[in-house]
Amino acid sequence: MADSAVRQTAALTGTRERSSARTYQVRTYGCQMNVHDSERLAGLLEAAGYRKAADGSDADIVVFNTCAVRENADNKLYGNLSHLAPRKNADPDMQIAVGGCLAQKDRDAVLKRAPWVDVVFGTHNIGSLPALLDRARHNRVAQVEIVEALEEFPSALPAVRESAYAAWVSVSVGCNNTCTFCIVPALRGKEVDRRPGDVLAEVTSLVDQGVLEITLLGQNVNAYGVSFADPDQPRDRGAFAKLLRACGRIDGLERVRFTSPHPAEFTDDVIEAMAETPNVCPTLHMPLQSGSDRILKAMRRSYRAERYLGIIDRVRAAIPHAAITTDLIVGFPGETEEDFQATLDVVERARFASAFTFQYSKRPGTPAAELDEQVPKHVVAERYQRLIDLQERISLEENTALIGSTVELLVATGEGRKDAATARMSGRARDGRLVHFHPDGLPIRPGDVVTTTITGAAPHHLIADSAIAAHRRTRAGDAHAAGVGPRTGVGLGMPGIGAPTEPQMSTGCSR
């Protein structure tokens, strides 16, 4: 058939011409875990023959990797699904898939509210996505597959990394805690840890491809070692400190970060490893949630304010210039003005570099959702603003104190909204602070490393308009300029869990 005839037929049937490779787009909501899972979804689709859709173009397949933590997660998802409904009606071969935590929680409800969705999959079986898409396309009926337990570590799956210079590496999946505000354990399952050798093999593979910085990921990352998937691997409460030190022995790995540790699991051997391992960055993100012991107890957070502050004191004694950040929840059920004042007091004492602050969000399925004394929204909003004002003052004071200091920056991309207007570029200092700097006419690329001096400060960033003292071109910068990202997940010797599944286009499943 002539090309014009093909185009005419496509117009009459409401479908589009398709290239030999179907295109995909992954839309991600939520935490770093979801961002990393989306890299695996991209890797799975590319391994199955799909290619990433160009920015601004319509994809043949749109995958939503969802979050269920915030109250507006449902509205955001179904609003975006509604926007795609006309496209789906016009082009029945276009496919929509919904995965992640909200899919795990809502299951069949997704199809009831958005019957034009083709595939629904959960947190434990992202590896099934290509096969489910094929099955839905062949059978012309939606496919829903939600499994209840992890069958294989998600790190065994192929991953297309978004960054050429920085990468996530999961050390564990799941969570053993029972925080009353959190639905994650019900959706991600019990904690299971990877073998140290598998973690280090993945890190080494990334570094061999030019990556300079890795972030070790876990729901409670410093609890690593409590439950290895390998039954021959004994429980080891010191495993996380050992892992940090082992990362310090990997040639070419310049920066190591980790998130998020739990205060109840924080031990001095981790502080010692942080201080004594040169490539472990002087930064710590440790969720506080509330400064009130009464509210911490109601949240089932197994520490109290003084223990939390004691950890900070010991970290700063060992690493004086450590930048410490946190998570805070305002308006937990039963929170009084006295409780909230206790949070303000701890924030004042802790001197956080920055804080992720949240208004309490009632989530069905969590114990906190059933508690009495839900705090009125206007009260929550007023307290939230007071907390924001306090933390912004502290952040500005801490950042202002850095004016005149010399910083080493790993040049980043997409981190500064004002870059085009000011001709500045952006990078992250070793302590994690965002710095907007002037390139001084040098051919600097994301992934390169520069040294400069801080000249200005704001609550959420620093300014460096001084001359560049040093610029080091890196393999990561070469890869970024060439548009090449590292790939991992195949051949790293990850263990399977449970009985083998039926062979599919791609193997494995996730959290």
In 3D, which of 77, 61, 76 has the Cα closest to residue 25?
A: 61
Burial class (CB in 10 A: 0-12, 13-18, 19+), 117: buried
Asked whether residue 179 is marked as a ligand-binding residue, the answer is yes
Q: Indicate the residue type of 175.
A: C
Q: At 24, which helix (H) or strand (E)?
A: strand 23-28
Residue with tokens 């040294």: 451
Question: How many CB atoms are located within 10 Å of the residue 174 CB?
Answer: 22
* Nearest-angstrom CA–CA distance, 25 and 292: 43
Q: Would strands 470-472 and 487-488 be described as parallel, antiparallel, or unpaired?
A: unpaired
102 phi/psi in degrees, rounded to 5: -65, -35
Is the separation of the CB atoms in 146 and 471 below 8 Å?
Answer: no
Asked whether residue 509 is marked as a ligand-binding residue, the answer is no
CB-based contacts of 195, cutoff 8 Å, min separation 6: 228, 229, 230, 233, 495
Question: How many CB atoms are located within 10 Å of the residue 18 CB?
Answer: 13
For residue 498, what is the DSSP state?
S
Supply the DSSP string of 326-382, one letter for each residue: EEEEE--TT--HHHHHHHHHHHHHHT-SEEEEEE----TTSGGGG-S-PPPHHHHHH
Determine the angle formed by the axes of helices 337-350 and 377-400, rounding to 10 degrees: 10
Burial class (CB in 10 A: 0-12, 13-18, 19+), 73: buried
Could you give the strand order of the β-sheet that contains 456-457, starting from the edge strand earlier in sequence?
Answer: 456-457, 462-464, 434-437, 425-429, 406-412, 449-453, 470-472
Supply the DSSP string of 259-327, one letter for each residue: E---GGG--HHHHHHHHH-TTB-SEEE---B-S-HHHHHHTT-SS-HHHHHHHHHHHHHHSTT-EEEEE
Q: At 122, which helix (H) or strand (E)?
A: none
HSE (CB half, 13 Å, CA atoms) of 247?
Answer: 34
Structure tokens given for 423: 């001709």
Is the separation of the CB atoms in 124 and 510 below 8 Å?
Answer: yes
Asked whether residue 67 is marked as a ligand-binding residue, the answer is yes
Partners of 433 in the β-ladder: none
Bond prior to 426 in cis (omega within 30° of 0) = no
**From the annotation, which residues make up the binding site?**
31, 67, 101, 175, 179, 182
**From the annotation, which residues make up the binding site for [4Fe-4S] cluster?**
31, 67, 101, 175, 179, 182
